[in-house]
Amino acid sequence: MLRSTRLRSLYLATLAILQLALIVRLAPPLALALRADALAGLAPEGWPALLQLLAMGLAVAGTALALVFPGVALARHTRAGALRFLGLPRWAIALAVAGVVMLGAATSGLAIAPWLPAEFRISLLLVCRPALTGGLALATAGALSGELLRRSVSARGAKPALRHATGRIEVTYPPELRTRALPTTQPNMQGRPG
């Protein structure tokens, strides 16, 4: 249980670091590409201008969703608790954590490169730049795959919901949605002919 708690904390930290890395590394080039590819006003008047505006809006919305998915996953994990984490495939968690480790190592290498001798600096720069991109891609692939392939996990030791003769299903989780019903009385069967 303690191992699972540590792994969950590590995964949540991975999501936070990945969100920051996506904003720092990918937002500026994507903004530049959007600015260059969707220059407003170049399409002729009428429906081509409307289509250009619609395409530009879709590009901005899609880019925003792609950049914010680790933050959304982090918020959902924080709100839902440990049960949400238990449904993640272990290989996806390993991919995400390995990607963030690779991203951190590449960032550290790029940070210390200016203080190294020239022959080491060039080698380090040639290795760290692709490692930075590879780590970002690996962490993104692991987190996205894990969140997409997440299974529902039931709470261990939870009592099954009681079914009544009416076929009614009682809600027990989350507590704020718990069904609160008065006990029903059973009909008296003694006075009826058999």
Q: Where are the domains of the chain?
A: 2-152
Whether the model pTM is above 0.85? no
Show the low-confidence residues of the chain (pLDDT under 50): 157-164, 194
| Cα distance between residue 151 and residue 92, in whole Å | 12
Q: What is the pLDDT of residue 157?
A: 44
Query: Do 139 and 100 contact (CB within 8 A), yes or no?
Result: yes
